[in-house]
Amino acid sequence: MIVREFEGRNEKEAIDRAIEELGLDRNEIDFEIVEAKKPGILFRGGKVKIRVHLLEEHEEGEQYEEEAGLEEGPPEQRSARRSLPAASNGEFEAKVIEFARGLLDRMGFPAEITVNFREEGRLGLDIQSDGSGILIGKQGKTLEALQFIVNLAAGRMGGETTRIVLDTQDYRSRRERSLLRMANQVADQVRRSRESQLLEPLNPFERRLIHTSLARYGDIETVSEGDGLYKRIRVICRSDRDMRRE
């Protein structure tokens, strides 16, 4: 995860600067306000500083479609392509696996951990444990938390430019398929009813997956709502009048 900070005289100006510099849409960034100063006698202009959280693929600008599950072929074929051998840093991999295994042991979930895939800047690890269901957690939140901890540790081991992706029981591919199926069903319902619907709270990666998937519908709009890391997407049917204005 990459963190960038942007400033403006108000929240909108800071967000606009972030969008312009990063080349992303408003729905594709997650931010928090870290500083806010109102105009005063000694401080004439207002100042707002926001902190934007980015996945590495947005900073590099290349790997989003593949990781989002939007490349050609079903998820099973994508997983096969990802597992092709790549350059291996054996010492670094061994340290990361040892740390992850030790973390799970201390949690009471002994596991076997193997390399799932290697890519430029990304290392996938597969967890094989009797407690996989608990390690995944509701909507994958426990797995995401474990992945965050492992990435922090990997950064201290010299892997600042390598993102660690944890998976177990092929959860990530199954989750992607489920989200895409749900998003398309909701879009069809919204088109028929002309009434917006609000999806379940999703993390940034899952929201980008939904935004990108539904962008192919010319009469459907998606907007993120809420604060924090997990936000909800509202699926809206655009009126014929709105589309004619474009």
- Please report how many Cα atoms fall inside a 13 Å half-sphere around the Cα of residue 84, on the Cβ side: 6
User: Which pLDDT does position 160 carry in this prediction?
Assistant: 79
Q: How many residues does the chain have?
A: 246
Give pLDDT tens digits for 121-140: 889 999 999 999 999 998 78
81 close to 100: Cβ distance less than 8 angstroms = no
User: Which pLDDT does position 95 carry in this prediction?
Assistant: 93
Give pLDDT tens digits for 212-246: 889 888 889 999 998 877 889 999 998 644 544 44
User: Which pLDDT does position 114 carry in this prediction?
Assistant: 93
Residue with the two structure tokens 């990304």: 122
User: Which pLDDT does position 54 carry in this prediction?
Assistant: 59
Q: What is the pLDDT along the chain (246 residues), one digit of tens a residue?
A: 456 788 888 878 888 888 777 766 665 666 667 677 666 554 456 687 877 765 444 443 333 333 333 333 344 434 433 443 444 578 899 999 999 999 999 999 999 999 998 888 889 999 999 999 999 998 788 998 999 899 999 988 888 788 899 999 999 888 888 999 999 999 999 999 999 999 998 888 888 889 988 988 888 999 999 887 788 999 999 864 454 444
User: Which pLDDT does position 77 carry in this prediction?
Assistant: 39
User: Which pLDDT does position 67 carry in this prediction?
Assistant: 37
Q: Which domains does the chain have, with CATH numbers?
A: 2-54 (no CATH), 85-169 (3.30.300.20), 178-245 (3.30.1370.50)
Q: What pTM does this model have?
A: 0.56
